[in-house]
Amino acid sequence: MRIVIAGGHGQIALRLERLLAARGDEAVGLIRKPEQADDLRQLGAEPAVLDLETASVDEVAERLAGADAAVFAAGAGPGSGAARKETVDKAAAILFADAAVQAGVRRFLIVSSMGADPSHQGDEVFDVYLRAKGEADEYVRNLDGLDWTILRPGRLTDDAGTGLVHLAAHTGRGPIPRDDVAAVLAELLDTPATAGLTLELISGKVPVSVAVKSVAGG
């Protein structure tokens, strides 16, 4: 498969690109800075420089042309203010989804956040973040042109992945290594029967492949 990943230099995306390249897929990572390109090449991924905060839907669709799937793994990051939660976590996700529809790329995964909710109340930066992620998720759900899956991880850690997770519509709070988030994304890409599901993810006791098959009805 050819898979285009928004936020291609992000911590989850880099792990996903390594997994995809290792299994023989073509991973294309969209990056904002040309100097990030070598990091992707070292993983076996193809870098593509494109800033989702300034790009047009046509420009993004051009990058998505010929892809089998698209993954939105971009984020403004923990040190950013409320404004970039709106421009990256919400607007860029919507742009990427619209571009996928335009390019005819049906399979679409979005890395969201546990607690994302368009009706979330509060004025702190994290409140804005949860609202922005929720609004992006809601927009994607309403696009008939996408076979979407929304993944909402718990508290992200840099611990080594265990390959054991709890994946369900509702899991309760908990941590999850970024390694395991990437592994679940790779498995979801191989499991089209998960389209239309919004899933929470934390560490657990079930192997990734078994967990994904279970939510897919397999």
Catalytic residue ranges:
129
Q: How far apart are CA 113 and CA 101, in angstroms?
A: 23
Hey, which residues does 111 pair with through a beta bridge? Answer: 151
Element (H, E) at 207: strand 206-207
- Residues 6 or more apart whose CB falls under 8 angstroms from that of 204 comprise 164, 165, 166, 167, 171, 211
**Angle 180-184-189 (CA atoms, 0-180°, nearest 5)?**
150
Which residues touch 161 (CB under 8 Å, ≥6 apart)? 177, 178, 179, 180, 182, 183
- Identify the three-state secondary structure at position 193: helix
CA-nearest of 184, 191, 182, 101 to 139 is 101
